[in-house]
Structure 1
Amino acid sequence: MINGDDLKAMRLNAGISQKDMAAKLNVDRKTISNYELDVSQIRVGELFSWFYYCKIDTSMVLSQVKTVREKMDRSKTTQSGTERGKE
């Protein structure tokens, strides 16, 4: 799980100030501080934007999500076919 220290490290590594990150995410600077201090949780959309601005590659995470979704889709198709056979 990503915590405030991780967010801060990514931001600092990218050379982005709290003020600049706040402007990029369209939030207050205090909100950025709260995320980094673990006072509040960053929303998923903002987290992926954070990754983008810090040049963090999310392809592995997105690939895993796609694999899980495809597995669930295949499972639903198999269950649907099995239920039809019982009729």
Structure 2
Amino acid sequence: MINGDDLRAMRVNARISQEAMAKKLRCDRKTIINYELGVSDIRSKQLFMWLLYCKIDSGSLLSEIKQIRDQVNSKEKPNLQDEEP
């Protein structure tokens, strides 16, 4: 899982200030600080934007998620007769 230290490292590596990241994500700097300290969790939409701004390839992550979903869907073919109303 991506934690606050990871978010900070990505941001610093991309040479983006907390203030600049806040503007990009349309939030305040305090929110960025809270994400990086682990005080609050980043929302998925903001996480993907964070990855985009830090030039992190999210394609491999999305591909892995799709593979997992496909595996689960192929194993779980619900029998509607067995389900309770």
Q: Is the structural similarity TM-score above 0.5? A: yes
Aligned to 2:57: 57
Alignment of 1:75-86 (within 5 A): 75-77=75-77, 79-80=78-79
Counting matched residue pairs gives 80
Same amino acid, percent of matched pairs: 55
- Output one character per residue of 1:2-61: Cα deviation in whole Å (capped at 9) or x when no partner: 111111110011011111100110111110011111111111111111000000011221
**Unmatched tracts of structure 2, length 5 or more:** none
Alignment partners' CA distance in 1, 2:65 and 2:7? 21
* 1:35-54 mapped onto 2 (5 Å cutoff): 35-54=35-54
| Matched residue, 1:69 | 69
Could you tell me which runs of 5 or more consecutive residues in structure 1 were left unpaired when the two chains were aligned. none
Q: Take 2:75 and 2:9, find their aligned partners in 1: how far apart are those partners?
A: 40
CA distance in 1, matches of 2:6, 2:74: 35
1:24 equivalent in structure 2: 24
State the alpha-carbon separation in 2 of the partners of residues 41 and 70 from structure 1: 27
Which structure has the larger Rg over C-alpha atoms?
A: 1
Higher helix share: 1
Q: Which amino acid aligns with 1:21?
A: M
**Which residue type is aligned with residue 56 of structure 1?**
I
Q: TM-score, normalised by structure 2?
A: 0.83
